[in-house]
Chains A and B, each alone.
Chain A
């Protein structure tokens, strides 16, 4: 056994660890999440029965926590795909262990985010009117289109690079797991045996998705911002909203990715693969986006505030010094400047520092979504007293349930799907080794290995070997 095979075997055993070993703590955590989701479902049944009157949204502040949650989760979903697609497209070699987790976050966050639109609807049973009577001139319709497209694309983009790993799980775990998971592996691995033709076809599928998903992801959050900026409200009526939302989405996405990575690393002892380097690189990305967000915010608020149109005065007062000042300044100082400072100071340039920055960013971005939605609506349009909005218990329950559902889906996915792209990591590792060693033997070995990636026992070794160049 050469070093590479040993390395790969260890990686496989680490990757399959969550699938094979389940502790009692996992079940406690799972039941805790189910409990919260169940409470959310119960609270939603109340809303279904009595209508949106159970929330604190009213005519003058007609959107609240639900739309905030929608924007927030759609934002988080940019973690994944965009990061993994950009890193893949730019051939950043350190990305391999990160991508799978990021792609899972994307798909799951999208599902949760999209469901908040349904929860917010006054007549959810009429959802099919969107198909029967849809007008593609409406920003909501663009959202429906963009999110449907993004969800489809990100599931394919999650699935395509996972096929070799699913085949690996099929070959390695079939006799160790129950019927259900065996069935999933056998089904989803779609006869992957790792022939050169399959590799080539898969490569094409992945590169198409990689390129197409970047504009899709950018368009999704731009369109989400257009729900707000296509209106005539002070505070929303802004041309930079698309940029603000997309940048904020990637920002909060990276932060969520860091948090999920940190937790998984801790629980499953993946320190070898999710190294400090990964956290620091993602931390730098966070700091860069934090700085960019500061720039976008200055653009947004200085241009509006300098001129200070009629309603702008109220909007600025409530945001900068009155009702929403705490949220706003926490967002600016803690959420945007915080990560930059944490990454600049050498002492905090550690995994702990990055995780703290990520927590700050996620909280700040949630608050930002909240105050954008609520302050925009709160500015009085006619001579009346400004309305107030404080989410009710039902709203908080459903929001927290959304959060729990997001974690629940990831928790369940960990037990089924390979969380590392074993074949890509092996490829990268090989490249790293071959870059270091120049002996012919090593090179030849790596080439041979390359054909059977993700597959231990080719069903037809003769032909697959024969087809090797």
Chain B
């Protein structure tokens, strides 16, 4: 093994300095491509946006380079940069990109260099102020609406039919009445009662049937509002996308079945009610999404930390959602039954 000479050391030091300098001025040295962007200051949601990027290298326009415009999006607990549009520069070094403004807020936007050079190019960062329109951009267009061909028509037809049925029934009632009117001899008690009963039975049947049908007609607009009205069915409590909110699972903890006194038993119920089971398996043995809890649970401290912070895509549960006492019960369930 040779000892490093002075000369070697000097050479090494020089290389280090050179590398440091190169790193510091790297963007300019490596590619020398500069991006400048022309973008509107404000856009409304739904508007078509034009982003013009000009690429210049050493004062010369860069032709044939691919650039893309990205923004910061969040969905389902993920957060990432999303490419909105891309284009290739022409002979003047200009790339024009179009996209429709769909997000309410683009955050920090960037025009990034995609290729063809391998060297990294510093992205151009800018912001566009988005003014929300509140107007729905994606709507369901299915169906054809024809005037007068609707439920009202059905009601009309059925009412018409029932009108005639009722008319016939009335004639039959009048038949009976005509018979009574023309009878002068004393009517036997049973006949009288009989006539009354037939009217009562007929009337009851008619009223029940008619009421039933009228209920259907009249109630329909009220009964099925959930088909049109966004607020008419019970949802589990909701949150905005991308923000951390308590995960509710199977309709959260109403406390039922958690007063047995035995911490482990109660914990089992809570384990289910907080929907831990839906990812970690019914008894904590692990499932497709969540890992097994039984054996690897560790100390209460680390368990507590994991639940409160939510590692690796697991939703975080704060103290309001799962109280410390309840969490302790779940812990005892997992440790004692495992």
Contact = CB atoms under 8 A, between A and B. Distances in A.
Judge A-B direct contact (beta carbons within 8 Å): yes
Interface in B194-219: 194-195, 197-198, 205-206, 209, 212-213, 215-217, 219
B221 to A, nearest CB: 10
A460 B187 CA distance: 12
A186 B190 CA distance: 8
A201 B171 contact: yes
B39 interface: no
B175 A156 contact: no
Contact of A198 (B175, B197, B219): B175
A381 interface: no
Contacts of A191: 176-177, 179-180, 183, 191, 195
B223 A137 contact: no
A460 B183 contact: yes
A132 B227 CA distance: 15
A211 B161 CA distance: 11
Best-buried of B164, B167, B194, B206 by chain A (most CB within 10 Å):
B194
A160 B172 contact: yes
Nearest to B169: A156
A208 B209 contact: no
B172 A183 contact: no
B287 interface: no
A459 B167 contact: no
B175 A192 contact: yes
Best-buried of B165, B179, B209 by chain A (most CB within 10 Å):
B179
A212 B165 contact: yes
Contacts of B180: 191
A407 to B, nearest CB: 25
Contacts of A201: 171-172, 174-175, 178
A370 to B, nearest CB: 30
Given A186-B190, A459-B183, A212 B161 contact: yes
Nearest to A141: B216
A451 to B, nearest CB: 12
B163 to A, nearest CB: 9
Contacts of B168: 156, 160, 204-206, 208-209, 212
B167 A208 contact: yes
Interface string B16-44: 00000000000000000000000000000
A205 B172 contact: yes
Contacts of B302: none
B175 A202 contact: yes
Interface stretch (A146-154, A319-327, A398-406): A146-154
Contact of B172 (A142, A187, A190): A190
A132 B223 CA distance: 7
Contact of B212 (A131, A153, A209, A215): A131
Interface in A366-425: none
B141 interface: no
A153 B185 contact: no
Question: What class of interface size applies to chain B in its complex with A?
Answer: 35 or more
A418 B318 CA distance: 79
A136 interface: yes
Nearest to A213: B165
Contacts of B167: 208
Given A149-B162, A193-B183, A186 B194 contact: yes
In terms of DSSP, what is the predominant structure of the interface of chain A? helix
A126 to B, nearest CB: 14
A133 interface: yes
A336 interface: no
Interface string B84-105: 0000000000000000000000
Nearest to A202: B175
Question: What class of interface size applies to chain A in its complex with B?
Answer: 35 or more
B182 interface: yes
Interface in B115-173: 151, 154-155, 158, 161-162, 164-165, 167-169, 171-173
Contacts of A159: 172
A136 B171 contact: no
A253 to B, nearest CB: 21
Contact of B175 (A132, A205, A216): A205
A371 to B, nearest CB: 31
B223 A186 contact: no
A134 B191 CA distance: 41
B182 A149 contact: no
Nearest to B160: A212
B215 A131 contact: yes
Contact of B176 (A135, A182, A190, A204): A190
Interface string A116-154: 000000000000001111111100011001001100110
Interface in A209-239: 209, 211-212, 215-216
A4 interface: no
A136 B220 contact: yes
A280 interface: no
A163 interface: yes
B234 interface: no
B175 to A, nearest CB: 5
B184 interface: yes
Contacts of B198: 187-188, 190
A151 to B, nearest CB: 9
Contacts of A205: 168-169, 171-172, 175
B164 A208 contact: yes
Given A190-B172, A195-B178, A183 B212 contact: no
Best-buried of B164, B168, B194 by chain A (most CB within 10 Å):
B168
19 contacts: A133-B219, A133-B224, A136-B154, A136-B155, A142-B154, A145-B158, A148-B209, A149-B165, A152-B205, A182-B190, A187-B194, A187-B195, A191-B183, A191-B195, A205-B169, A206-B168, A209-B168, A212-B168, A460-B185
State the 7 A-B residue pairs at the shortest beta-carbon distance, nearest first: A191-B179, A190-B176, A187-B194, A205-B171, A134-B216, A186-B194, A208-B168
